[in-house]
Chains A and B, each alone.
Chain A
Amino acid sequence: MKTFHFVFILSLLCFAGCATDYDVAEVAPEEHLDQEHHHSDVETCEDCEDDHGGSSEEPHHEGDSSPSGHNHGSGVRNHGTQWFFNQPWAAPFIWSKLLRDGLIFLLLAVLLFLITGRKKH
């Protein structure tokens, strides 16, 4: 019976973590990753129809604080900001997994409480 409990709890734990499908960067759908405004250095920026290739070029968007040296307007993700949007608050596609994990941890807590309480203590 003890083995059954151990295997049951272990399998629930593994299911609960499910970390392999949790990492936002690993499981994000294409549309989530593609929202960053990106273009190669030699391409033309669609927003301003300017060439990014020139080394002596002045910042052609507002400000120059982003990793690429320029900022895009409101509503367009700047270059190199994917890490910012790979956090749980910005990834609704993993919220259901959080809910599921929470439920399983709660179930595990109740099971552990009941199983260990059956001893003489």
Chain B
Amino acid sequence: MKAVFTFSLMTLRMLFRRRTLWGIMLVILLGLAGIASVPTFDVSNQGRFILDFGLFGIEVGALLLALGLAANLYPRDRETRTIMPLLAVPLSRWQYLLGRFFGAALVQAAALVVSCLGLMLILLFNGLPIPGDLLPATLLILVEGWFLLSSVFFFSFFTSPPLNWPLTTMLFIVSQMSVSEFVLLMPSAPGAMRTIRLVLPHADVFHIKDPIAHGFHIEPVYFLIAVFYGLCYSAFMLSLALAVFRGRDLK
């Protein structure tokens, strides 16, 4: 595991040097500032609006970060032949994958925490209370971000980055749908749609912005279950990615 740790730190440093991360962070923070600057027109519950849309903005930010950070990692390593000496001696394929994943996951976590702090500042600036469940809500979005990150890695082993973006975005959209909503995409074939939905994740598990915005209390055990579900699904996607990666001929 020491090799994975060292390689993930190398990945982390490399990602912090890239302009992509800072560009996406700027977009997220500008989006949050834009949400806060929407005039209220004396409508009550402005805090609910800022919180709801702010958390949605952070969630979209998690998707952008996953794509921006990871879609190009393996293709670039392969194109520049950096992967050859790495896999020749110090790292096995699973160590390479885990090192890259953990490095990107740490960078994504840092970026989402900064986004959450930005949302807190916006709430404070508008004289609105900060709900106690805001940090757990961000944690769930982070777990969703890690799931998206593992999906990006999975797609990156057999598609190019321009194809990875729409594929992951489509997965992000359809995994938000309930079974009945998913079936409605093609009502003429409900059986086939239900079968396809079987293997897709349930990303609505990570959504608690509605209850937080409306002041509902969330059971702590729900956080634990949702985090566990997200981490297990991420591990599954990573193992799928590894299965594809192990079958690739890098010559």
Chain A residues within 8 Å of B, Cβ to Cβ? 13-14, 16-20, 22-26, 84, 86-90, 92, 95, 98-99, 101-103, 105-106, 108-110, 112-113, 115-117, 119, 121
| Residue from B214, B231, B246 having most chain A Cβ neighbours under 10 A | B246
Write out, one digit per residue, whether chain B residues 174-214 have a CB within 8 A of any chain A CB (1) or not (0).
00001110000000000000100111101011011011001
The residues of B that contact A84 with a CB separation of less than 8 Å are 210, 214
Count contacts on B: residues with CB < 8 A to the other chain.
40
Q: Which of B207, B222, B236 contacts A95 (CB 8 A)?
A: B222
Secondary structure type dominating chain B contacts = helix
Chain A residues positioned under 8 Å from B200 (CB to CB): 17, 19
Shortest Cβ distance from A100 into B: residue: B229
16 new A-B contacts, CB < 8 A, other than A19-B200, A87-B207, A89-B219, are A17-B200, A19-B194, A22-B179, A22-B202, A25-B178, A25-B180, A87-B204, A88-B226, A89-B208, A89-B211, A89-B222, A98-B228, A101-B202, A105-B235, A108-B236, A113-B242
User: A32 to B222, alpha carbons, bound, how many Å?
Assistant: 17
Chain B residues engaging chain A, CB cutoff 8 angstroms: 92-94, 178-180, 194, 197-200, 202, 204-205, 207-208, 210-211, 214, 216, 218-219, 221-222, 225-226, 228-229, 231-233, 235-236, 238-240, 242-243, 246-247
Cβ contacts under 8 Å, A119 to chain B: 246-247
Given contacts A84-B210, A87-B204, A98-B226, contact A121 B239 (CB under 8 A): no
B191 to chain A, nearest CB (A): 10
Rank and list the top 8 A-B pairs by shortest CB-CB distance, nearest first.
A17-B198, A23-B179, A102-B232, A112-B239, A109-B239, A109-B235, A105-B236, A102-B229
**Given the interface contacts A13-B198, A89-B208, A117-B246, does A26 sit within 8 Å of B232 by beta carbon?**
no
